[in-house]
Amino acid sequence: MDAAGTENVSDAADDWRLTNQDAYLQAATLFLRRWFTHRPEWDHDHCEFCRAKFSDEGPDALREGYCTTDGYHWICEPCFNDFRDRFGWSVADSTDVR
C-alpha cells in the first residue's frame, strides 16, 4: 500500500490561479492579439490567472495574449490552454473587433 500521502493536489478545482474569474470569464469570447491598452495612463496588464505581465516594454513582459472583447481582461497562453475547457471559452478572429 502506498501510504505516502499522494493527494491529488493538481486538480483543476484547486488550482491556485483560480479565484472568482468565472464571474466574468465564464463562456467568454476571447481574441488572441498583441497586447494593447485602451487606457492612456496604463502601461501594462496582468494575466487574470497567474498575474503574468503584459506590456510593450520590459524583457520579461508578454507581448500578446488572449483578451476579452472589451479589452479589460487578459489571459496568458499557458493559462488559456489550462482553463479553456473549464471556462468554455471560444476564440474569435481579432479582425472582428469593433
Judged by the rule CB under 5 A, the positions of this chain that interact with Zn ion are 47, 49-50, 52, 76, 79
- 47 versus 67: smaller Cβ distance to Zn ion: 47
Residue 7 CB, shortest distance to Zn ion, in Å, is 24
- 30 versus 79: smaller Cβ distance to Zn ion: 79
Residue 21 CB, shortest distance to Zn ion, in Å, is 11
Cα–Cα distance measured from residue 10 to residue 34, given in angstroms and rounded to the nearest whole number: 30
Residue 47 CB, shortest distance to Zn ion, in Å, is 3
- 45 versus 98: smaller Cβ distance to Zn ion: 45
Cα–Cα distance measured from residue 87 to residue 32, given in angstroms and rounded to the nearest whole number: 16
Block residue for cell numbers 513582459: 61
Closest CA to 30 of 83, 78, 75: 75
Distance of CA 91 to the CA centre of its chain: 13
